[in-house]
Amino acid sequence: MSTRDMITGRQTATGLADAAAPETIDSTGPADATDATDSINDGALDGLISHTTTHGIPTLHAPRRQGDITAGLFFRVGRADETLATSGLTHLVEHLALHRLGVTDLHYNGATGNTFTLFHVTGTEDEVVSYLNGVCAALRDLPLDRLETEKEILRTEAANRSNGPGSQLPLWRYGAQGYGLSSYEELGTWSLTADQVRHWAETRFTRDNAVLWITSDHVPDGLDLTLPAGRRHPAPAATSALPDTPAYVRGDDGHVVFNAVLRRSSAAAVFAEVLGRALFRDLRQDGGYSYSAEADYTPRDADFATLTAYADALPQKQDAVVGGFVDTLARLRAGAIEQAELDSARGKLLKLYDTPDLGAVMLPSYALGLLLGHRLLSRAQHEAELRAVTLADLREVAREAWDGGLLQVPTRGADWAGFTLAPEYSPSEVTGTRHTSLENDDVTLVIGAEGVSLLVPGGPVTVRYDACAAMTTRPDGARHLTGLDGFRVAVEPTLFRDVTAERIAMLDASVPAAAVVPLPARDPERIPRPRERETRETAPVPPAGGGEARKSVSPGLRGLPVWFVLLVVSEVVFGAGLLIAIVQTSDSGHSAFVHLTRAILPTALVIGYTRKAYRRARRERG
């Protein structure tokens, strides 16, 4: 099982959450540079949670009055630690570690997030001990004879997984690396070797890179959590593919999504609750535009969290939803937050401390905070921070969210609100051999010594070899290159002139071997062939966020807006009428040259307007 960065509903923005949803938890408080193990003290745990070590693994435990025991073993490794070419590596180790447990009535599972892997179980004390011992035994000796089978299972799982409406935003914010990898398929499931998987388990699934939590008043006897020594790996540093913010991208109809990276704090957690309530009131209760309108606050690493806001919309209401959504953000940014809004949001978070078995409920949050190196707060400290949040604090968080925001809209754009369109083209192109498209003379592929570029009327799309996140290869000669910035160039020899075996060999020799992912042969019918040329060819613009990659090419007029087609037809009629009028009004007193001169100005205006409208149509098509 793999957790995803998608919106699944209103979630708590505090340290109290279900152990089965670890990415929704947060110990909310300022981070410091102290080592994680040094942050455990009885004052911080407030007497609700006990701590010890088990076979060198930091262990937190707290009793639950009723029901079976639940335990979780966290490791500080996840998708953001991989590369695009090896993505799926952590998920694969998780699957292999659980294989020997087989089919049982025991409630257990594994989860792979951006920054952690979790093995969790609920059962009797003996069942919990057996499960944890089995996981650690498997991590010491993975059943690598199952490697190809588990890789195929992961590909099947991915094929049947539905992505959330904001699933492409990590790609646009971070690129094809680190935290952006959650937007991509797990390419490594095609090419990872047994040695790579074994090495990953030996270096990342270690006792020094783990935290254990158990809902019990004691650590059960009989645990054998022997794991190799290692080191605590900090969460990956964040990358950026956005030169300017606030920015926007175009997404699917029916969804408006906003995200921002905020410094972790109690004020940020409260703001997420205020924003969610404001969107719900403005877009659903008052406007009647949306059914779902919500916000979520999710820890990213020790110091930062991701704020995500979402609203749905019917096609005929999309402009209104975008406008209302932005208005709500702008209102909060401008400081128009009432004291009642703050009190209501804070009150909801404080009520969570009335939860029965509070220590047991807080265990996953505290364990994840310890794993990431985030300073742990006691109940009293956290309550004090929540009570200290002021309107000025919320206004500061609102400005931080707006300034670094990324907005996904289903309409033509958000320039009017001060958002900048995220880059759809690369800043430069490479030099090399030029290969014209067999479908469109306005599209050219350049294969050079430094990289490849696809030249389209809007600009170049470039992937440089030294910044290539992955290149997939096919026996038929296809090479698809994805850059660390998320741009992608598909080299299909069947679609461009003179892309010879020698040019493909140059690509193979230039891209680092670690970035190459061989894919199996395609069915001959799936190998792309040039489409028949159309009477008016146009170069495409890449879709915002689209499926496999950040950029793609699909020449042709198909998909242009209906209004543009009607405009062209009307202008043809207008032009024909203008010519007829010139002929009919000609007389012996005025030469044809005079009448032609009179027609120049309106004709020039029509041509200029058509070009402007055509460019707009192409942007909307993207």
Q: Are residues 135 and 75 in the same domain?
A: yes
Q: Quote the tokens at residue 47.
A: 């007497």
Q: Are residues 499 and 575 in the same domain?
A: no
Q: What is the DSSP letter of 166?
A: T
Q: Quote the tokens at residue 492.
A: 């299909």
Q: Are residues 190 and 318 in the same domain?
A: no
Token pair 């949050």: residue: 365
Tell me which amino acid residue 310 is.
Answer: Y
| Cα 138 to chain centroid, rounded | 31
- Of 505, 526, 547, the position where a domain reaches its end is 526
SS3 at position 40? coil
Residue 239 covered by a domain: no
Average pLDDT over residues 348-355: 92
Domain count, the chain: 4
Average pLDDT over residues 300-322: 96
SS3 at position 424? coil
Residue 9 covered by a domain: no
The pLDDT score that the predictor gives to residue 553 is 38
Asked whether the CA dihedral 573, 577, 579, 580 is positive or negative, the reply is: positive
- Class of residue 598 by CB neighbours under 10 A (exposed 0-12, middle 13-18, buried 19+): middle
- Of 193, 214, 235, the position where a domain reaches its end is 214
Instruction: Give the count of beta carbons closer than 10 Å to the beta carbon of residue 385.
Output: 18
SS3 at position 278? helix
| Cα 36 to chain centroid, rounded | 27
Q: Which domain holds residue 31?
A: 22-214
CATH number of domain containing 172: 3.30.830.10
Q: Are residues 124 and 196 in the same domain?
A: yes
Residue 236 preceded by cis peptide, ω within 30 = no
Q: Are residues 317 and 407 in the same domain?
A: yes
446, 491 contact by CB (below 8 A): no
Phi, then psi, of 489 in degrees rounded to 5? -125, 125
Average pLDDT over residues 374-394: 94
Q: Are residues 184 and 297 in the same domain?
A: no
450, 464 contact by CB (below 8 A): yes
Residue 241 covered by a domain: no
Could you tell me which residues come within 8 angstroms of residue 79 by beta carbon, excluding any fewer than 6 positions away? 87, 90, 91, 112, 113, 114, 181, 182
Residue 223 covered by a domain: no
Q: Are residues 495 and 576 in the same domain?
A: no
CA-to-CA distance for 60 and 57, rounded, in angstroms?
Answer: 10
SS3 at position 91? helix
Query: In the chain, how many H helices and how many E strands?
Result: 15, 20
Give the percent of the chain with pLDDT over 70: 78
Closest C-alpha among 363, 330, 346 to residue 266 = 346
The pLDDT score that the predictor gives to residue 46 is 65
Give the percent of the chain with pLDDT over 90: 72
Q: Quote the tokens at residue 371.
A: 């794993």
Output 619 or 450, whichever has higher pLDDT: 450
The pLDDT score that the predictor gives to residue 240 is 96
Q: Are residues 412 and 472 in the same domain?
A: no
**DSSP per-residue string spanning 367-389:** HHHHHHTPPP--HHHHHHHHHH-
Q: Are residues 464 and 349 in the same domain?
A: no
Give the CA dihedral 300, 176, 171, 487, nearest 10 degrees.
160
pLDDT band with cut points at 50, 70 and 90 for residue 161: confident
pLDDT band with cut points at 50, 70 and 90 for residue 538: very low
pLDDT band with cut points at 50, 70 and 90 for residue 89: very high
The pLDDT score that the predictor gives to residue 516 is 98
pLDDT of 27 over the 80 cut: no
Residue 540 covered by a domain: no
Average pLDDT over residues 541-549: 35
Question: Kind of pairing, strands 117-123 and 69-75?
Answer: antiparallel
CA-to-CA distance for 319 and 323, rounded, in angstroms?
Answer: 6
Task: Look over the chain and give the mean of its residue pLDDT values, rounded to a whole number.
Answer: 85
Give the CA dihedral 65, 70, 76, 80, nearest 10 degrees.
-110
Q: Are residues 415 and 515 in the same domain?
A: no
pTM across the whole model: 0.81
CA distances from 145 to 99, 119, 193, 203 (A): 11, 22, 11, 20
The pLDDT score that the predictor gives to residue 569 is 62
Residue 351 covered by a domain: yes
Q: Are residues 512 and 608 in the same domain?
A: no
Q: Are residues 68 and 118 in the same domain?
A: yes
pLDDT band with cut points at 50, 70 and 90 for residue 85: very high
Residue 237 covered by a domain: no
SS3 at position 271? helix
pLDDT band with cut points at 50, 70 and 90 for residue 219: very high
Residue 171 covered by a domain: yes
321, 313 contact by CB (below 8 A): yes
Average pLDDT over residues 105-110: 85
CA-to-CA distance for 62 and 379, rounded, in angstroms?
Answer: 14
